[in-house]
Amino acid sequence: MKKVPRLKAGGFGEYLVLSGVITQEQYARVKTVQNINRLMGIIAKGEKYLNDNQVEKVVEYMLDYPTVKFGEAAIALGLIDPSQHRHLMHLCLARKTRIGEILLNLGLLDQKRLNDALVDFHLIRQKSKRVLVVEPAANVSMMLELTLKKYGYEIERVPDGDSAIAAVASFKPTLILCSAALDGPMSGYEICSEIKNNPDTKSIPIIIFAATVTKEAIDKAFEAGAAHVLKLSCKESELLDAVMQAEGTESRKRTERILVADDSPLARMVVLNELSPIWGDIHLAENGEQAVKMAKELQPDIITMDVEMPVMNGLDACRNIRNDPTTENIPVIFITANNTLEFREEGFAAGAVEYFAKPFKAGHLAIFIKTLFEMKNARKDGKILIVENSPSERHIFSYFLQKNGYAVFGARNGEESLKAVNSFKPDLVITDSHLPGMNAFELTKRLAEEEKSRSTPVIMVTSSKEKGEAIQGLAAGAVDYIVKPFDESEMIARLQVHIRNKRLLEQIVAEKEKLGDALSKLEDANKILERLAVGDGLTGLSNRRHFDELIRVEWSRAWRDEKPLSFLMLDIDFFKKYNDGYGHQQGDTCIKKVAGAIKQIAKRPTDIAARYGGEEFAIILPGTVANGAFLVAEGIRALVEAWQIPHEYSGVAPYVTVSIGYVCLDPTEPNQPKEFKELIEMADKALYKSKHDGRNRASQADEYAASLATVE
């Protein structure tokens, strides 16, 4: 037995090179023939979908948008629809995978050598062991059995649908070959659909055989969930190609987990048929409540969801998913018949990443989800609003942006975009220069005027012949402009810069606000510290240290401005006895009440009151003559007396009283004190006189000046 080389690549072409059957140069020639864009153009003309002029337009479009493939460009130009694109893709795929057929046509291999290479290749990578053949014609099913047995397969043959369903359960095939036309009530398409709708058997790849491979046959086969369609009278090499392709279908299926939520069994099946050819881990929910529960349990990678559902609607379910920390990052796509702007805004506000209107076109949902998954690791944290009246242009922008990982919302005009800004909250707006109704320049100005969108950068899209519009857009407030046709990489690079600048600006503003808050708190703290430094903690009046500073300042000002300055000294009568009798806590309360009386009477902005020490207080009255000082002193004394704070230990009255001494400096008169210390001493002597004369009174130092030397 000949030694088979170790397979380092999964494709048949790579194997042929590794095993020496063909050279690297010959394989490159085959790959050139397989070029998908070139091949699709040839096939599209052959299928009468496009003529030469239309193919040329598609090619020109692809030159303007280098990353767009032939089929995507043809759809964007409106030359083909998605179903025609799917048919072309199938035909291209069929030709592309038949490397052996290309080698035969080019004369690089003969049929025998090709078959030998196919057998060897299959022995290396063989995965399917049991093949179920569902075919009513005994001679056809026998031919299929003999062909596949040569390659080591175990075969089970059944003639109709009922037998096929039973054989799936008993034989447990790893691959099914099924004829489209069968005896009995079930067609091959119906059997395929039933097997694919069963969670236990949906992963089994199925190849459909049809008498003729038409577009209708291909569509029906794929809608039923088939992996491939073959003509009933196919060559052995074509059969082996299809089997090998089907073998790899399940192993090549994407592993992301998808949750489909819809109360309609038919709608669930439509989504399942759309996604199951690509994904193998799909789960179904019948209402919003079940979807929320399954989202927590299964942790799917994405959720598609209807809006109108029993028990819990899709909007509420989406909000619940967004508000749960365990599911908040799972993307939700709405699939709904409601295609209004108001619903789209409500859907995005609920947390959806996209919506599809029912009925959606085949292939679109799968392509979008695949794009989301492929960009998941490189997803950019950015939302972009596209304002474009042309659906095709809007689609192109959305395609490029979503492909590069951005969340996209489309608006058709300026009015829609202003509404969308409030709900979608984009990081950047791209607007065409020509819009119906509100023009792009007015829109740009409105966005700059609105507080919510003031910092949102706007990029204007214009044609190369309209540079004046670009300048006008920049003058209106746009940060940049893009000229059609644009280069994808340049566009992405530009918007990345502007989004990054917006984020930096937001960070600067946030940091500035934090700094402002910190400075405000620091200022408050400094005020507290200042109060603590200059204020008395018990009474809130100035403390002794601060008083000593202020009396110097006011003394100097009085002499400089030649304005009078009065000064009062106040003492609570028999306070030591009060403190001893009522306790220190009541003593502190008494001091605070007397301080309150001082604040009520000496309340001018220029008046300064301080706790001088213990139960003593000092009051500075700038610009106040002796009569004014007496009125303040008498007002304080009378107010304290009127409050009648109990003091059973007083020798004056059964309530708290105060004694006050005051003095007035008049810089315009002779024989005035020369230093502020003399002023304090004179007030203190006047206070002593009040106490000597029976307390609960106010005495002026001037009347007592003659006896200052004798009263000690």
pLDDT in tens, 539-560: 989 999 899 999 999 999 999 9
The reply to whether 389 falls in a domain is: no
First to last CA, the chain: 133
Residue 68: pLDDT above 70?
A: no
pLDDT value of residue 213: 78
Residues 454 and 490 in one domain: yes
Residue 685: pLDDT above 80?
A: yes
Q: Is this prediction's pTM over 0.75? A: no
35 pLDDT band, cuts 50/70/90, is low
Residues 500 and 581 in one domain: no
Among candidate residues 209, 233, 252, the one where a domain is terminated: 252
The reply to whether 528 falls in a domain is: no
Residue 75: pLDDT above 70?
A: yes
253 pLDDT band, cuts 50/70/90, is low
120 pLDDT band, cuts 50/70/90, is confident
Residue type, 489: S
pLDDT value of residue 578: 95
Residue type, 410: G
Percent of the chain with pLDDT over 70: 86
Among candidate residues 195, 226, 252, the one where a domain is terminated: 252
Among candidate residues 85, 111, 137, the one where a domain is terminated: 111
pLDDT value of residue 711: 36
pLDDT value of residue 712: 32
Domain count, the chain: 5
The reply to whether 214 falls in a domain is: yes
Residues 276 and 207 in one domain: no
* Strands across the sheet containing 354-357: 279-285, 254-261, 302-305, 332-336, 354-357
Residue 608: pLDDT above 80?
A: yes
pLDDT value of residue 649: 94
Q: Which positions ≥6 away from 453 have C-beta within 8 Å? A: 421, 429, 447
631 pLDDT band, cuts 50/70/90, is very high
Strand-strand pairing, 565-572 and 658-665: antiparallel
pLDDT value of residue 508: 81
Q: Which positions ≥6 away from 27 have C-beta within 8 Å? A: 13, 14, 16, 17
Give the pLDDT confidence of 279-336 residue by residue, as tens digits: 878 888 889 999 999 999 889 889 999 888 888 988 899 989 878 878 877 888 888 8
Write down the mean pLDDT value for the chain. 81
pLDDT value of residue 709: 36
Measured between alpha carbons, how far is 96 from 656 in angstroms, rounded to an integer?
A: 109
pLDDT value of residue 122: 64
Measured between alpha carbons, how far is 338 from 330 in angstroms, rounded to an integer?
A: 23
pLDDT value of residue 34: 62
Residue 83: pLDDT above 70?
A: no
Average pLDDT over residues 78-106: 69
Both structure tokens of 525: 């703290």
Task: Check residues 45 and 639 and name the one with the higher pLDDT.
Answer: 639
Residues 184 and 333 in one domain: no
The reply to whether 518 falls in a domain is: no
Using only the alpha carbons of the chain, give its radius of gyration.
Answer: 46
Average pLDDT over residues 258-286: 83
The reply to whether 534 falls in a domain is: no
Residues 696 and 549 in one domain: yes
| Stretch among 56-65, 324-333, 582-591, 676-685 having the lowest mean pLDDT | 56-65
The reply to whether 553 falls in a domain is: yes
The reply to whether 580 falls in a domain is: yes
pLDDT value of residue 178: 94
Measured between alpha carbons, how far is 611 from 96 in angstroms, rounded to an integer?
A: 99
Helix and strand element counts for the chain (H, E): 29, 20
> Is residue 509 classed as helix, strand or coil in its secondary structure?
helix
Residue 38: pLDDT above 70?
A: no
pLDDT value of residue 274: 80
Measured between alpha carbons, how far is 658 from 640 in angstroms, rounded to an integer?
A: 7
Residue 661: phi, psi to the nearest 5?
-120, 140
pLDDT value of residue 32: 67
Which domain does 447 fall in, by range?
Answer: 395-508
| Stretch among 199-203, 488-492, 681-685 having the lowest mean pLDDT | 488-492
Residue 353: pLDDT above 50?
A: yes
Residues 553 and 701 in one domain: yes
pLDDT value of residue 111: 81
Residues 702 and 572 in one domain: yes
Number of residues assigned to the chain: 712
| Stretch among 102-111, 389-398, 428-437, 528-537 having the lowest mean pLDDT | 389-398
pLDDT value of residue 199: 80
Task: Check residues 639 and 485 and name the one with the higher pLDDT.
Answer: 639
Residues 549 and 680 in one domain: yes
**Listed ranges 361-365, 451-455, 583-587; the one with the highest mean pLDDT:** 583-587
pLDDT value of residue 495: 82
Angle at 514 between CA 511 and CA 519, to 5 degrees: 125
Residues 551 and 698 in one domain: yes
Residues 245 and 291 in one domain: no
> Is residue 585 classed as helix, strand or coil in its secondary structure?
helix
The reply to whether 116 falls in a domain is: no
| Stretch among 22-36, 416-430, 431-445 having the lowest mean pLDDT | 22-36
Residues 138 and 240 in one domain: yes
> Is residue 672 classed as helix, strand or coil in its secondary structure?
coil
Residue 40: pLDDT above 60?
A: yes
Strand-strand pairing, 616-622 and 608-613: antiparallel
Residues 615 and 693 in one domain: yes
Average pLDDT over residues 675-685: 92
CATH number of residue 156's parent domain: 3.40.50.2300
Measured between alpha carbons, how far is 366 from 274 in angstroms, rounded to an integer?
A: 6
